[in-house]
Structure 1
Amino acid sequence: MTTDNRVGAHHPADAGDLVRLSINQQTVRQLSIPQLVRGCRALGIPGVGLWRSPVQAFGVERAAQVVRDAGLTVTSLCRGGFLTASDPREWNAALADNRAAVDEAATLGTSTLVLVSGGLPAGAKDLAAARERVAEAIDRLAPYAAERGVRLAIEPLHPMFASDRCVVSTLSQALELAERFPAEHVGVVVDTYHLWWDERVPEQLVRAGRSGRIAAFQLADWVTPLPEGALLGRGQLGDGCVDLRGFRERVDAAGYGGPVEVEVFNPQLWQRPGTEVLEEVAGRYREHVR
């Protein structure tokens, strides 16, 4: 099975200046999958990034059909990962769940499965050992995914999440893991919310681009002060301090030409009408990213 999740590959230039834009489902989680698809189609947004839990509740094959019938593309599936368990039973259960995630991605027609590595096991303090567990798991999973046309995409998260959510904190660390495997099997996710602070990102983007490792590019802004519970504190495009256009230009210069996926976890956005948020995202994308 071969899948191409580049938005431009399925939607020609007549989609205008939104031809690369994708809306991650969590940005407008108040919308059902059909509502999200209809809203994106109405605005000329050709891509959606989906999450496993709502897709499972809706039905994986049904979701794939809804997106396909609208002429849209699933640009990524979130998420696999959480592969750091030291208990063998927990680790094997995580591997099984990730194989299921690969199958779901293949059914949805996306070649990108986002991996969030997982945090430190209970009582552990060795970050390097936890990252090695992630590498071992990817070694098990990558052939399975490749057979199904799915690429594993390692996402580094901001260091504040290292203890409980993701021991991979920098783009350099993500690349060190990915580069153990063929580029067509394992890549990395570049997310502005998690990486904007790191002065090494420009050189690491060049490194990633040379080997074709950039599997996904996601956008959210960083607002100050962070709301309580930083996981849900992402800012709408243009509301914070991230140079979003500069980031996009560097990613493009590294050779990435795929979807630009807006993923904003923000309860204030979820309280507003979803179609209104979609329109705002499109406008902010034009203003701050294009």
Structure 2
Amino acid sequence: MTTSVASPPAHSAAQPVLNLITVGTQRPFEKILDACGRHGITAVSPWRDHYADIGVQRAASALRERSISVSTLCRMTGFGPAEDASDWLKSIDDARRVVEEAATLGATSITLTGGGIAPLGKSIRDARQRILEGIQTILAEARAAGVLLAIEPLHPMCAADRGAISSIKLACEMAVAAGPGAKVMVDAYNTWWDPEIEASLAAAADLICGFQVSDWLVPTTDLAFDRGMMGDGVIDLPQVRRMVAAAGYDGPVEVEILSNRWAARPIDEIISTVMHRFASVC
């Protein structure tokens, strides 16, 4: 395992980190990085799908060649559904691979949604307990690799199949229970609805290690891939950003737009729009 400690991504306060899911997963990784360079993006957050066809070593080389750093690697998902022993071992093995890949890429953190409930299970409490146990199992290895585990609460509509952690408060409780190296990723899309968001963020203090933005469309037509470009939906993004800043977070702001409609557009149009909206709306 690579053990170099990741450095925070270089960025200016006016420049977003681009989560590469915003441009989809069908374009060649190096072409995506070239487009980022054309628009002044110096830090990205890839999903593992983005470099699956070329391998993590080549992906790391491509990033270094372009002086682009990695903020967050997406993602660690397998603990919640892993109800039997065989699935549990598979989830831990996969988590170890994610840590190794994150270290190779020089990522600061790994987003950890944990996964939903077991396919035949009915207990979200048990799924959440497995997620905590998974974090505790892998955390020492992540610390040794210099990578934070960024627990990301998802919207409650995702609790059954994608992420059983459904609030900032729950994510913070899990991070504290897990111990040093477990932090919290705040995604405005997943948390804006929460009536306890301000109090939960205020209590989070030094637990927040990342902040993501996109927008909630009305109507929303897909539970995963119909996020909106900032300014096209109903989230008061400046307000959420102020609350996150008031909680003490002053790090990078990441644009993560899971949208089949946006991903189908020309890549330069997507990134240009991201840069304009980030500056004018967020």
TM over 0.5: yes
1:218 aligns with 2:221: no
1:49 aligns with 2:42: no
Tell me which amino acid in the other structure corresponds to 1:222. W
Tell me which amino acid in the other structure corresponds to 2:213. L
1:33 aligns with 2:29: yes
Cα distance in 2, alignment partners of residues 54 and 287 from structure 1 = 28
- Per the alignment, residue 7 of structure 2 pairs with 4
1:107 aligns with 2:104: yes
1:82 aligns with 2:78: yes
Deviation, 1:226, is 0.8
Tell me which amino acid in the other structure corresponds to 1:98. A
Matches within 5 A, 1:1-290: 1-5=4-8, 7=9, 10-11=10-11, 17-18=14-15, 21-29=16-24, 30-84=26-80, 85-183=82-180, 185-209=181-205, 212-227=206-221, 229-289=222-282
Bigger drift between 190-199 and 245-254 goes to 245-254
Cα distance in 2, alignment partners of residues 151 and 98 from structure 1 = 13
Bigger drift between 116-125 and 269-278 goes to 116-125
Cα distance in 2, alignment partners of residues 36 and 256 from structure 1 = 28
Deviation, 1:259, is 1.6
SS at match of 1:152: strand
Cα distance in 1, alignment partners of residues 14 and 120 from structure 2 = 49
Deviation, 1:182, is 3.0
Give runs of ≥4 in structure 1 deviating > 6 Å.
Answer: none
Deviation, 1:101, is 0.3
Cα distance in 1, alignment partners of residues 129 and 170 from structure 2 = 11
- Aligned-pair identity in percent equals 36
Contact 2:226–2:261 at 8 Å: present in 1 too?
no
**Scaled by the length of structure 2, what TM-score is found?**
0.94
Contact 2:152–2:185 at 8 Å: present in 1 too?
yes
Cα distance in 1, alignment partners of residues 241 and 31 from structure 2 = 28
Contact 1:193–1:220 at 8 Å: present in 2 too?
yes
- Residues 65-109 of structure 1, C-alpha deviations (whole Å, 9 max, x = no match): 111221221111001122021111001100000000000000000
Deviation, 1:17, is 2.5
Tell me which amino acid in the other structure corresponds to 1:28. V
SS at match of 1:45: coil
**Scaled by the length of structure 1, what TM-score is found?**
0.92
Deviation, 1:250, is 1.6
- Residues 229-280 of structure 1, C-alpha deviations (whole Å, 9 max, x = no match): 2201101111000011111122122221222111111111122101111000
Cα distance in 2, alignment partners of residues 92 and 147 from structure 1 = 21
Residue segments in structure 1 that go unaligned for 5+ positions in a row = none
Cα distance in 2, alignment partners of residues 204 and 142 from structure 1 = 24
